């Protein structure tokens, strides 16, 4: 197994330590591996969702700009 050293703010390290102290994870490495595993699963899920969503359509910037302007006007009117 490879070793990877990372730097992080003290608050993040404290958060990881608090997660480990609950007993849900055996170590900081275990916690980080779990985060990466979940991220990979989510990335794969999103890729499959994109592939299964059908054929892409060309982006019409003029229509998109009109929609954005309309939404902005509606929001400003509130």
- Domain locations along the chain: 9-53
pTM (predicted TM-score): 0.66
The pLDDT of residue 64 is 94
For the residues of 20-73, what is the DSSP string, one character each? HHTTS-SSHHHHHHHHHHHHHHHHHHHHHHHHHT-------HHHHHHHHHHHHH
pLDDT (tens digit per residue) in 32-65: 999 999 999 999 999 999 999 999 889 899 999 9
């Amino acid at each position: 197994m490879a070793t990877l050293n990372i730097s992080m703010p003290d608050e993040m390290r404290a958060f990881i330590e608090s997660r480990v102290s609950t007993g849900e994870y055996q170590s900081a490495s275990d916690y980080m591996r779990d985060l990466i595993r979940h991220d990979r699963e989510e990335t794969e899920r999103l890729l499959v969702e994109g592939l299964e969503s059908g054929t892409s359509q060309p982006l019409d910037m003029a229509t998109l700009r009109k929609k954005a302007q309309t939404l902005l006007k509606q929001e400003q009117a509130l």
